[in-house]
Structure 1
Amino acid sequence: MTASPLARLTVDLAAMGRNFDALQSHAGDAEVAPVLKADAYGIGSQVRTPVTDYLYTHKNVRTIFVATFAEATSLMLTSGRSGQEITVYALNGYAGEPRRAEWEATPVLSSPAQARAWQESGGGPCGIALDIGMNRLGMSIDEALALPASAGLDPHSITLVVMHLSHAGEPAAKENAAQAELFAKWSGALEAAYPQARFSLSNSGGLMMDLPAAQQVVRPGYALYGGAPDGNPDHALESVASFTAPVIMTREVTPGETAGYGGTWTAKRPSRLATIGAGYADGYMRALSNKGVVWLGGAECPVAGIVSMDLVTIDITDAPAPISPGDRAELFGEHIKLDRLAGLADTIGYELLTAVGNRVERVYTM
């Protein structure tokens, strides 16, 4: 690969495929339906990228989840897959967005009001969401059972019932078992009312807990891309995304010299610094100032000073290999695990991955 002056996110599709297979082993007979919201968690799906094509062609994926109705329609249009080929569920429901016939998204309705809006727009296949403890989206069991009367929905039009664990990232939380029991109880009540519906409880975290839930569809997102739902890097599957950026220049500094805005880093010894061509506008968070580590020259190199919009400076004094402009530094990937870096920024890997900016080039490998 030729040298690039750009920050780059390299996506290993084969690793994603192996993660898919590992998740399928947890899912048993349930369909693994990837979550591609937020541009496939930042790795790229809103153009005709190999991500969607790989999942469709190599993993026979025919059901996908995104967040918004517009996002679902866009994914179908840009992937070239019509509603006859894939079903794309919009988890945030429906709020009167334009409908596109052949490129028809399928909303997961969270309230009777959304159900009425969907029916007034022409109706059709839809999912429904029930709240089992998160108090975010989803209706009550009574509201769900009353939809044919309250919203005029055809019971046979409901193709999916979704519930969501509020503590999926905490495997030991008692809420998981309690909510799985509620899922089982409510599923039994809804099966008779909506005979065409399949049922889905588990996202990445729920799936990797192997909860005893009778579900026909599972919804992994973060784990598919190599993240650990519980935030422990040791529990992650294979790294799929590697975020790198070029060294722009290096310099020697003497004890007492500072680096970055505000001079928050001070050299305590003769030191060597490297300036890397990525910053918080590219998704390398400012919260990593004086906390983050970068892999360069065969070693972890600490961030020196404040992360700027377009640049980050690192201390390469202890790197064993020579470092020159044009060399590429790994911001996260094989050596700097995504969830570990997130911990240094006091956030979660989901945020770091989805924050990778639009000017970061995406490169796909097999």
Structure 2
Amino acid sequence: MRLAIAEINLKALANNLAQVKHFAPNCKVMAVLKANAYGHGLVKIAQHLSAADAFAVARIDEALALRAGGLTKPIVLLEGFFHQDDLPILLANNFQTIIHDENQLAALESATLDAPIACWLKINTGMHRLGIAPSQFESFYHRLKASDNARDDIKLMTHFSCADDVNDEKTTQQIALFDSLTDGKAQQHCLANSAGILAWPHGHGDWVRPGLMLYGVSPMLNGVGKEHGLAPVMRLTTRVIAIRDVDAHQCVGYGGRWCSDKPTKLAVVAMGYGDGYPRHARQGTPVIIKSQRYGIVGTVAMDMITVDIGDNGDNIQVGDEVIMWGPELPVEEIAQCASTIPYELLCNITPRVSYEYQE
């Protein structure tokens, strides 16, 4: 019996890319594939995003894995390069780099390269993470334009910090600052992440960077993907491996954190934090067995979770499928039950979960 499985729906992936283009019809699309394509499988997902214009990853090893998988589209390194010795690798593999600080710019200027590298200059407009200060923009821009190691078609970008909240004015302020700095620069611009694509159309620029929404999950506060026409790409399932009778007042699992108030039945399912399921999922976090919701009880363990199936215990058998999240049970809901975000749940899927790709 196969136990923990992540079913990856590639038709849903295509639907979500089409939705990106619906929301940003005049923009090029840079599909974000960092962190193993948000837990969905880096190379396989990239192979089914042929309609995207470029890919984006965080680090060079992710980019090299895409090239090893036969992907030829432009690839942007969102964290840029970390040492001057990386630059020949970037050039040989047609990688594009973010420039976000003085060390990177100086390393690029002083390198000896056979040809120039495509660069994106990142401006910190309020995220205060990566990116040059607004006061540095003119200097950095003209230094890049003057460098023989940077291609002339420098692209300009920033990153939103609060775009998931439509009531927060920070995004409007970031767009205004970016526009004021880049006014008159005949370069392509990239501002919008998934939340920016959905909620801030005046900040789309020439390129958009969809990440979470490609995988069918809402990037908005308290949102659900289907509200935006998105379809969940991942369906995480496992199986019932035991059914137990529990008497009233018996406590279940590590720490005895849940005790039954009446006689009931429990289904033990083969899933735990060893598979990437959140250990801090609260009591009552839902799963689905035979089209019906049941609540988790007890502490999530490394390999097993207990589910109170109550009076329906006679209808459930060892081997029955258990849906942990998917189209029937939004991962956004599970994230709320675990006091985290969907990004973390998707990225935390571990190697012992089997992947099945459905065309």
TM-score by length of 1: 0.89
Q: Displacement, 1:347?
A: 1.0
Structure 1 equivalent of residue 81 of structure 2: 94
User: Are 1:296 and 2:286 matched, yes or no?
Assistant: no
SS at 2:310 equivalent? coil
Mapped partners of 1:117, 1:321: distance in 2: 68
SS at 1:288 equivalent? coil
Contact 2:32 2:211 in 1 (8 A): yes
Mapped partners of 1:246, 1:278: distance in 2: 8
Name the amino acid aligned to 1:10.
E
Structure 2 alignment gaps of length 5 or more: none
For 1:1-366, list aligned pairs within 5 A: 3-4=1-2, 6-45=3-42, 48-49=43-44, 51-56=45-50, 59=51, 61-77=52-68, 79-81=69-71, 85-96=72-83, 98=86, 99-100=88-89, 101-121=91-111, 122=113, 124-147=117-140, 153-154=147-148, 156-191=151-186, 197-213=187-203, 215-230=205-220, 231-233=222-224, 235=227, 237-319=230-312, 322-366=315-359
SS at 2:185 equivalent? helix
SS at 2:6 equivalent? strand
Structure 1 alignment gaps of length 5 or more: 192-196
Is the alpha carbon distance of 1:63 and 1:7 closer, same or farther for their aligned partners in structure 2, counting shifts above 3 Å?
same
Cα RMSD (Å)? 2.0
Contact 2:32 2:209 in 1 (8 A): yes
Is the alpha carbon distance of 1:132 and 1:272 closer, same or farther for their aligned partners in structure 2, counting shifts above 3 Å?
same
Contact 2:16 2:214 in 1 (8 A): yes
SS at 1:38 equivalent? helix
Q: Displacement, 1:158?
A: 4.8
Percent identity of equivalent pairs: 28
Mapped partners of 1:210, 1:139: distance in 2: 23
SS at 1:278 equivalent? coil
Mapped partners of 1:245, 1:120: distance in 2: 54
TM-score by length of 2: 0.91
SS at 2:75 equivalent? strand
Is the alpha carbon distance of 1:44 and 1:272 closer, same or farther for their aligned partners in structure 2, counting shifts above 3 Å?
same
Mapped partners of 1:128, 1:321: distance in 2: 62
Q: Displacement, 1:269?
A: 1.6
Q: Displacement, 1:177?
A: 1.4
Contact 1:296 1:319 in 2 (8 A): no
Mapped partners of 1:63, 1:53: distance in 2: 12
Contact 2:192 2:204 in 1 (8 A): no
Contact 1:256 1:266 in 2 (8 A): yes
